[in-house]
A and B are shown apart, each in its own frame.
Chain A
Amino acid sequence: MRDKTKVLPPSCREKKRYIVFELLSDEKIEFNELIKAVWSSTINLIGCLGVAKTNFKFISELYNNQRFVVRCLPKDVEFIRLAIALITEINEKKVCIRSLGVTGTIRAAKIKFFKN
């Protein structure tokens, strides 16, 4: 028997939303620095329990130099958007992060925001 659990039927799964963000900065921001900043900002705003309840995840496959995607529950989209918008500095480099849009699937996010 494989060690992975069986895939839940669609009716049992939780709904997801993918938020696409754009990073505006003059200097180059490294991937690891960005992940740390995003996690610490969300934990600061909504706390450990809050983040645990949102099913928050950083989708590392879709990271482009300027754009990145995070996953959460539909009801928590606004909290996550706010938490990430509060980031002003990453490793002493000034940044501004803006959200481009929200999608229901990774495929839709790819088609809409990662065409190039």
Chain B
Amino acid sequence: MNSLFADCNFNIFVHIPIYLNLFMEHRFFDLNIEFSKNWKEIIKRAEKLELAGICLVVNSKENLEEYHEIIEEIKRNTKLEIIKGLLIDENKDKITKIAKKNRRDFELILVKGGSYEINRFACSSQYIDILSNPGSGRKDCGIDHICCKDAKEHEVLIELNFREILKVSGIDKIKELNKMKEILRLCKRFNTNFIVNSGAKDVYELRGGRELASLSYSLGASLEESLFANSELPLKLIQKNRNKIFQILKGVDLEYEG
């Protein structure tokens, strides 16, 4: 057997696990879907698109108690993994305050980017999980090498929003794709984690996991990276945050509940 592959530079046995990883079934997640009144339709469509889990994101300015009640009701009626998410669309000063206050109630905390000040602050905050849409309303991509390094250190994901391409056309679409390409290039360069979310506000803006992954693949990420970004990475993030929520004190876990 060894003599068979003795002259061969490509060692098949080393590469088999990598290729198997590409063809195995992935559980895809979409971590930015706006919570609205037509949530029943959204759940149905997400089930049809074979998503493993979705994050229904509520804006911090809205009524949060009502949101929690509805989410509990949804969880009882569906097989989908429903994740609670809070989107903070505020000034730099209020972000930490709101994030600290709601950290134990929400599994994910997202910050809406756009301004460089907010993008930089979100990347260097330990309370934030995802920086959503850093390049919205800007000419450049909204992040630089400093943001990327900070995001890597504080385990913040940088989001590429699929909806941004859907709502524009012509030259604007090209500019938007170019921004995303730049974000992806910087993320790859500094080993920062990124994620592609649909950012859907309507049923027809929802997309399947494989379709979301194809965006990052076509902008320069490898197939493995793009699949990882939409399947395993969100799963790890959610598990980490759920463990933190159920922690009594820092470093103390509840092992048995009688």
Contact = CB atoms under 8 A, between A and B. Distances in A.
Interface of A: 1-9, 12, 14, 39, 43, 48-49, 51-53, 55-56
20 contacts: A1-B116, A3-B116, A5-B140, A5-B142, A5-B143, A5-B144, A5-B147, A7-B144, A8-B144, A8-B145, A9-B145, A12-B145, A12-B186, A14-B185, A48-B174, A48-B177, A52-B177, A53-B181, A55-B178, A56-B174
Interface residues of B, number: 26
Given A12-B189, A14-B185, A4 B174 contact: no
Interface string B114-130: 01110010000000000
A6 B174 contact: no
Contacts of A51: 174
Interface of B: 115-117, 120, 140-147, 170-171, 173-175, 177-178, 181, 185-186, 189, 218-220
A49 B146 contact: no
Contact of B171 (A5, A7, A39): A39
A55 B219 CA distance: 12
A79 to B, nearest CB: 14
B174 A1 contact: no
Contacts of B143: 5
Contacts of A48: 173-174, 177
A1 B186 contact: no
Given A1-B116, A1-B120, A14-B185, A6 B177 contact: no
